[in-house]
Amino acid sequence: MSPLCWEVAAGAAFVGSHFLLSHPLRAPIVGAIGEMPFQGVYSLVALATFGWLALAFRAVPAETPLWAVGDGLWIVGTLIMLPASVLFLGSLRGNPALPGPPRGTAAPPEPRGVFSVTRHPMMWGFALWGVAHILVMPTPANIVLATTIILLALVGAALQDRKKEKLQPETWRAWEQHTSYWPLGAILSGRVKFTPAGVVPVIGGIALWLAATWAHLPLAGVPAGIWRWIGG
């Protein structure tokens, strides 16, 4: 099997195991061994399959990009990464999709900040990361890696909705009525108005964007973001 095929297999294992353990296999395994041991198994499988994916990606020999990448695509990729960073930072606080104690029948909070943009800001942040990296590094190995992350994020978000509808039928369906899966969907349909959640997500997102793009050069050997033009 070629190195690229190994990477595809690793990506399928990473995404497939996540979906299986998060959905059809979760209940029977939790029933058999309990919640905490299940979380340990889930974490070990996730780390093992992600490690396999990372090693398989690094094992692919140097490849010719599928299209030329000039300043135009770098500008687009850089701009995409800014909202991706803000969405990710904004999702870390007040996110009902993150693990935590059940909300019972309490009314969901009014969506604010990134949650008025999409109820899955973290997942869309990862998906935008994948799109940006495909644009600026169009090698087959990188396209496989980025597509794996995109599929895990966006399909995973849709499956999470279905699971939450069963586990929290009242609160999650109410949350869905005031939010949208697709970015800006609820705002454009008039179901919600964009309500700022303070400056912390924006400032934090910009800081993450600057730090992550700066780190590209020492970690990956490629200058990224605004540092391509102003230097690091």
Q: Which two tokens stand for residue 140?
A: 């087959």
Q: What global pTM score does this model have?
A: 0.91
Residue 130's contacts (CB-CB under 8 Å, 6 or more residues apart) are 146, 147, 149, 150, 153
pLDDT, tens digit, for every residue of 130-144?
999 999 999 999 999
pLDDT, tens digit, for every residue of 47-93?
999 999 999 999 999 899 999 999 999 999 999 999 999 999 999 98
Per-residue confidence at 231, pLDDT binned at 50, 70, 90?
A: low
Number of H helices, E strands in the chain: 11, 0
Residue 174 DSSP SS3: helix
Strand residue runs (E) in the chain:
none
Give the DSSP per-residue string, 118-157: -S-HHHHHHHHHHHHHHHH---HHHHHHHHHHHHHHHHHH
